[in-house]
């Protein structure tokens, strides 16, 4: 099945997530164009297979039993990216850092915040990714999506209902194919300097040398997840090979091979923080797949 495409059968999902965790997917396809994506969706419909879409896997925990059906991986596939005046147009599989670098090269400002985000543009729109005061909702002009029936639609920003780490696209099964961002003319040296400074801050504050999925929990209203976790004495707290980073309490890192351990760590941190502070932490990491039967 899917012989016409770039396909891996029984694909180990630990190789496609930054957490380095997860059991096998029945099939993993990396479409190289929107046309191929539509063809893949057609074959999946004919075979009555469930379809799961991922980007770079940087905000994802796949459970140990893996994912049944087809996984479509946008990263390394849909990678076209170009500039038209003040517009930067990027396919969904383009890495956020690559898009930010192209913008800087063309003297366009507004995407500096994304230079160190280890995800794709498509995933960034889906979750309204942001950092250091910037987020995708500030620059997105329109998004082209593919419906599961293979039809395409372009939606303007106002139809995307952006919120904190959220968008209307999360509620359905539509697949982001291309994103158009409106940026501002800026000084190339100043843009590069800002990007370098933000990346220096990331290196200083975040555990970038250990597998993680970025910030594990969303920022609760009126507080910060990392501060709450730290206040509860949870830095270094571990379940098996999963532990709360001692460098940044908002990051849960993986040094083992068990998604179940990582999931249990997330639940334990949530429980302890809620017991001690009354605040419930909502996961920012998306969990998918099934447990080992």
Q: What are the residue numbers of the active site?
A: 165, 215, 284
Which runs of consecutive H residues, i.e. helices, occur in 32-167? 34-46, 96-105, 121-126
Q: Which two tokens stand for residue 59?
A: 């905000």
Distance CA 72, CA 58 (A): 15
Which runs of consecutive H residues, i.e. helices, occur in 22-166? 34-46, 96-105, 121-126
H or E element at residue 199: helix 188-205
Question: Would you call 234 exposed, middle or buried from its count of C-beta atoms within 10 A (0-12, 13-18, 19+)?
Answer: buried
H or E element at residue 131: strand 130-131
Residue 185 near residue 179 (C-beta atoms within 8 A): no
For 41, which DSSP code?
A: H
């Amino acid at each position: 099945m899917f012989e016409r495409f770039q396909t891996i059968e029984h694909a180990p999902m630990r190789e496609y997530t930054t957490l380095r965790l997860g059991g096998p997917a029945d099939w993993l396809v990396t479409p190289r164009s929107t046309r191929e994506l539509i063809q893949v969706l057609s074959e999946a419909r004919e075979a009555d297979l469930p379809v799961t879409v991922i980007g770079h896997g940087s905000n994802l925990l796949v459970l140990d039993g893996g994912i049944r059906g087809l996984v479509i991986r946008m990263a390394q596939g849909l990678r076209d990216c170009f500039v038209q005046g003040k517009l930067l147009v990027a396919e969904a599989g383009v890495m956020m850092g690559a898009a930010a670098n192209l913008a800087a090269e063309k003297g366009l400002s507004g995407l500096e915040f994304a230079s160190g985000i280890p995800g794709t543009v498509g995933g960034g729109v889906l979750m309204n990714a942001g950092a250091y005061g910037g987020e995708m909702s500030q620059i997105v002009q329109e998004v082209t999506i593919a419906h599961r029936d293979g039809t395409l639609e372009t939606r303007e920003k106002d139809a995307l209902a952006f919120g904190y780490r959220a968008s209307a696209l999360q509620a359905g099964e539509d697949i982001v194919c291309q994103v158009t961002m409106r940026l501002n003319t800026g000084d190339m040296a100043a843009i590069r300097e800002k990007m370098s400074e933000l990346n220096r801050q990331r290196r200083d504050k975040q555990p970038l040398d250990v597998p993680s999925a970025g910030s594990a929990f969303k920022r609760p209203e009126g507080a910060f997840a990392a501060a709450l976790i730290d206040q509860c004495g949870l830095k270094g707290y571990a379940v098996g090979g999963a532990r709360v980073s001692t460098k940044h309490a908002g990051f849960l890192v993986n040094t083992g091979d068990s998604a179940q351990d990582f999931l249990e760590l997330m639940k334990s941190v949530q429980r302890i923080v809620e017991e001690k502070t009354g605040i419930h932490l909502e996961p920012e990491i998306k969990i998918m797949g099934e447990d080992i039967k």
